[in-house]
Structure 1
Amino acid sequence: MIPFVSLAAIAVAAAAAAPLHLETRILAEQPVATAGAAPVLAPARRTLPGDPLVVELAYRNTGAAAITGLVLANPMPRGLAYRGPQPSSPAPELSVDGNRFGTLGTLTVALPGGGTRPATADDVTHVRWRLSAALPAGGAGRLAFRAVVR
């Protein structure tokens, strides 16, 4: 039997200076009894390698003024591999080194002996979203992407 991975060890709340509050949650799809109904997302408790998950970044402006030019970057939680954008969320920019961001097709990974190879979803180390509109005081939102337990 493959041992389970405790997500308590990899679910890390993002820390940010006031007035922006960030929280990262690791969610699993829970089946529903109604035929044709979409699965419900709930906090993941126990997982096995290969289990699909959704990583959600919730953000809220707790200040009195709007925040403009907001860029929300998140490292990939340890033990998870990126699999794609969550359909209900805009696609994030991706990075394989935490410095260069773009679409997966534009990223490369340096090889030990020199040269590069095209990046794969397993190489993603960070995700990032740029909010084009100002986040008003009291405003909030959620962004998400799909992942799998390594």
Structure 2
Amino acid sequence: MHLPMPALLLASVIATPALAAGPLQVTAKVLTEQKTRAADGSVRVALVPARRVVPGDRVIFVLGYRNTGSQPIGNIVLDNPVPAAIAYRGPSQSSAAPDVSVDGKTYGPLATLRVRTADGATRAAGPDDVTNVRWRLANAVPGGAQGQLSFQAVLK
């Protein structure tokens, strides 16, 4: 199965700046690894825009944010739903760790979440159960400032 990445693009990224004092611009992109072999035999890995992926391919979801105003914006929450065809694997190395959810309502570290089974019991949640990834920015974003957050996933 091949999926064109625009179908997986994050149209439903939610940016919720409470008490926003200026405009917040949020962008979303999906990247994948492209490996090339150099003449010396070494393998180089670059992140490139995902155009087409197959099951098992690793993808990186990147949320960029920018305060285009002159005043700081505080209380920013960025919530990224995880598409059904994608399995969450964890934050990217260069990103702050997000809180995750297995139901879109309750968020926290994955190790603290539980999933109800068909028989009514519960079990520990795993990465494949994640439905949403959310970051609460700890500090206000100054006017003109920007940043990005990202997580790793695979196509199921």
Q: 8 Å contact 1:96–1:107 — kept in the other structure? A: yes
The residue aligned with 1:12 is 10
The residue aligned with 2:138 is 132
The percent of aligned pairs where both chains have the same amino acid is 45
1:85 matched to 2:83: no
What is the RMSD of the two structures over their aligned residues, measured on CA atoms?
Answer: 2.0
1:31 matched to 2:35: yes
* Deviation, structure 1 residue 33: 5.2
Query: Which stretch of the first structure deviates more once superposed, 93-102 or 18-27?
Result: 18-27
> Could you state the TM-score of these two structures normalised by the residue count of structure 2?
0.85
1:107 to 106, 110, 113: 113
Q: Which runs of 5+ in 2 are unaligned?
A: 17-21
1:40 matched to 2:46: yes
> Could you state the TM-score of these two structures normalised by the residue count of structure 1?
0.88
The 1:130–1:16 alpha-carbon spacing in structure 2 relative to 1, beyond 3 Å, is closer
Residue-pair matches, total: 148
The 1:148–1:61 alpha-carbon spacing in structure 2 relative to 1, beyond 3 Å, is same
Q: Name the CA distance, whole Å, in 2 between partners of 1:117 and 1:130.
A: 27
Q: 8 Å contact 1:10–1:78 — kept in the other structure? A: no
Q: Name the CA distance, whole Å, in 2 between partners of 1:10 and 1:103.
A: 24
